[in-house]
Amino acid sequence: MLVKRALDKGAIFRDNIKVEDIKILEGQVKILLNNGETHKAYIAIGADGVNSVTAKKTGLLKNRRHLGVCILKETMLDEEVLDEFYTEKRSCYIYPGIDGVTGYAWVFPKKNRLNMGLIHYRRNNKTDKKNLKSIFLSLLQKLKDKKLLPPTIDYSNLGGGIVPVWPLEKTYTDRIILCGDAAGIINPLSGEGIYHAIVSANHAADTIIEAFEEKNFSEDFLSKYEKKWFQDLGEEIRVILPSSNIWRRDYEKLISIVKRDPILTELLLDLITSQTSVKNLRWKITKRYILSLLRHHLEH
Ligand SMILES: Cc1cc2nc3c(=O)[nH]c(=O)nc-3n(C[C@H](O)[C@H](O)[C@H](O)COP(=O)(O)OP(=O)(O)OC[C@H]3O[C@@H](n4cnc5c(N)ncnc54)[C@H](O)[C@@H]3O)c2cc1C
């Protein structure tokens, strides 16, 4: 659908061809494709995902220190089955800290689908790897045994991938703008980034229209792009990032605190599933966390 809308607006869509290199030159940006073609432009947008060639080649991405690695399965189910297992209200389940995973597993029932997954936040090096597939499958089996998952769920067609966990230090440079995952613009706790990609792309489009009007493609001029997306999405990222840092740094303590406090669990669930706005949850979670932390210290 998005491709069709772009085509209707005059875009040229080149499938199965990759950008291999990008060079910022005097008065232009030069793009080299893997079929040998080169293209010149006044400006380029890097919307090429978490492993963005644009971000790497322009020096905006040196090294992502942390990544979220996830594995998931989504399957269609009869609504009656979902009603029976998860009620008509569709109760969600979150399982933090499964088998040493720094992250959580989830079971999110939808109207006629069930989405199950596991996300592991890890440093971007080899020391922190886990066999997520076997951890995930053994969890699904345990949930089935406890009748928390319908017995008909099979283990085929698992999906998975990598999500960035925080934005790049800078999401623009001379003649370049980065959007979505390429810029690391994402909800750092839930790993959701479709909305963020669309919002940042809108701001990129507005900024580029202004850049053409002013005939100014400099880093200084394009810095307004970052101000725009940050105004829309920065508040959420700023609130969540410190908590996701605590999540990674002091994981076991956090889990033991959260597990004992159903109210805090409920608030975090709202945050992860985006049920309530981050602004509304910010102080509620902070206050509740401090209270639970004090209780934890008194008990230990
Ligand atoms: C398993 C999984 C589940 C997820 N579930 C959700 C969810 O439920 N809700 C949600 O909001 N988010 C979810 N996300 C995150 C979401 O998918 C991303 O945040 C979102 O797709 C980012 O959009 P994007 O356009 O920036 O990047 P992408 O969707 O990654 O698109 C990048 C595009 O660039 C292309 N590309 C890459 N390199 C090159 C190159 N060198 N040359 C040319 N083209 C290139 C790719 O082929 C791709 O088409 C999930 C992510 C994963 C991994």
Q: What is the pLDDT of residues 226-284, one digit of tens each?
A: 999 999 888 777 666 655 555 556 666 677 777 778 888 777 777 766 666 666 777 78
- Residue 209 shares a structural domain with residue 280: no
**What is the chain's length?**
300
Measured between alpha carbons, how far is 170 from 265 in angstroms, rounded to an integer? 34
Pocket (CB within 6 angstroms of ligand 1) = 18-19, 47-49, 53, 70, 72, 159-161, 163, 179-182, 186, 191-195, 197
Q: Show which of 208, 234, 260 is a domain's final residue.
A: 234
Q: Say if 273 falls within a structural domain.
A: yes
- Residue 24 shares a structural domain with residue 150: no
Question: How many angstroms is it from 291 CA to the middle of ligand 1?
Answer: 38
- Residue 82 shares a structural domain with residue 158: yes
Q: Is 157 helix (H, G, I), strand (E, B) or coil?
A: coil
- Tell me which residue has its CA closest to atom 48 in ligand 1: 48
Q: Say if 243 falls within a structural domain.
A: no
Q: Show which of 139, 164, 189 is a domain's final residue.
A: 164
What is the number of the ligand 1 atom nearest to the C-alpha of 20?
41
Pocket mutation for ligand 1, best pick of 14, 19, 37, 48 (most atoms within 8 Å of C-beta): 48
Q: What is the pLDDT of residues 13-29, one digit of tens each?
A: 999 999 999 999 999 99
Measured between alpha carbons, how far is 12 from 8 in angstroms, rounded to an integer? 10
Pocket mutation for ligand 1, best pick of 17, 157, 165, 192 (most atoms within 8 Å of C-beta): 192
Q: What is the pLDDT of residues 146-182, one digit of tens each?
A: 999 999 999 899 999 998 887 899 999 999 999 999 9
- Can you give the CATH number for the domain in which 92 is found? 3.30.70
- Residue 84 shares a structural domain with residue 228: no
Q: What share of the chain is helix, strand, coil (3-state, %, to 5)?
A: 45, 20, 35
Q: What is the pLDDT of residues 174-214, one digit of tens each?
A: 999 999 999 999 887 777 899 999 999 999 999 999 999 99
Residue 117: CB atoms within 10 Å: 21
Measured between alpha carbons, how far is 268 from 281 in angstroms, rounded to an integer? 9
Q: How many domains does the chain have?
A: 3
What is the number of the ligand 1 atom nearest to the C-alpha of 180?
26
Q: How far is CA 184 from the centre of its chain?
A: 8
Domain of residue 80 covers 66-164
- Residue 135 shares a structural domain with residue 191: no
Question: What own/partner pairs with CB < 8 Å and gap ≥ 24 does 80-87 have?
Answer: 81/150, 81/152, 82/109, 82/110, 82/111, 82/112, 82/114, 85/109, 85/147, 85/148, 85/149, 85/150
Pocket mutation for ligand 1, best pick of 54, 71, 110, 163 (most atoms within 8 Å of C-beta): 163
- Residue 148 shares a structural domain with residue 226: no
- Tell me which residue has its CA closest to atom 30 in ligand 1: 49
Residue 204: C-alpha distances to residues 169, 224, 260 (Å): 17, 9, 44
- Residue 39 shares a structural domain with residue 185: yes
Question: How many angstroms is it from 20 CA to the middle of ligand 1?
Answer: 18
Q: For residue 185, which amino acid is it?
A: I
What is the number of the ligand 1 atom nearest to the C-alpha of 70?
1
- Residue 178 shares a structural domain with residue 33: yes
Q: Say if 111 falls within a structural domain.
A: yes
Question: How many angstroms is it from 3 CA to the middle of ligand 1?
Answer: 14
Q: Say if 239 falls within a structural domain.
A: no
- Residue 83 shares a structural domain with residue 98: yes
Q: Say if 138 falls within a structural domain.
A: yes
- Interface confidence, given as ipTM, is 0.98
Q: For residue 168, which amino acid is it?
A: L
* Confidence band, pLDDT 50/70/90 cuts, at residue 300: low
Question: How many angstroms is it from 49 CA to the middle of ligand 1?
Answer: 5
Q: Is 171 helix (H, G, I), strand (E, B) or coil?
A: coil
pLDDT at position 130: 80
The least confident of 18-27, 62-71, 82-91 is: 62-71
Q: Is 5 helix (H, G, I), strand (E, B) or coil?
A: helix
- Residue 92 shares a structural domain with residue 133: yes
Question: How many angstroms is it from 159 CA to the middle of ligand 1?
Answer: 13
Measured between alpha carbons, how far is 296 from 136 in angstroms, rounded to an integer? 30
- Residue 116 shares a structural domain with residue 198: no
Q: Say if 178 falls within a structural domain.
A: yes
Please report where in the chains the tokens 């089955």 appear, as a residue: 81
- Can you give the CATH number for the domain in which 177 is found? 3.50.50.60
More confident residue, 50 or 65: 50
Question: How many angstroms is it from 152 CA to the middle of ligand 1?
Answer: 30
Read off the pLDDT of each residue in 81-105 and give the average, rounded to a whole number.
88
- Tell me which residue has its CA closest to atom 29 in ligand 1: 49
Q: Say if 242 falls within a structural domain.
A: no
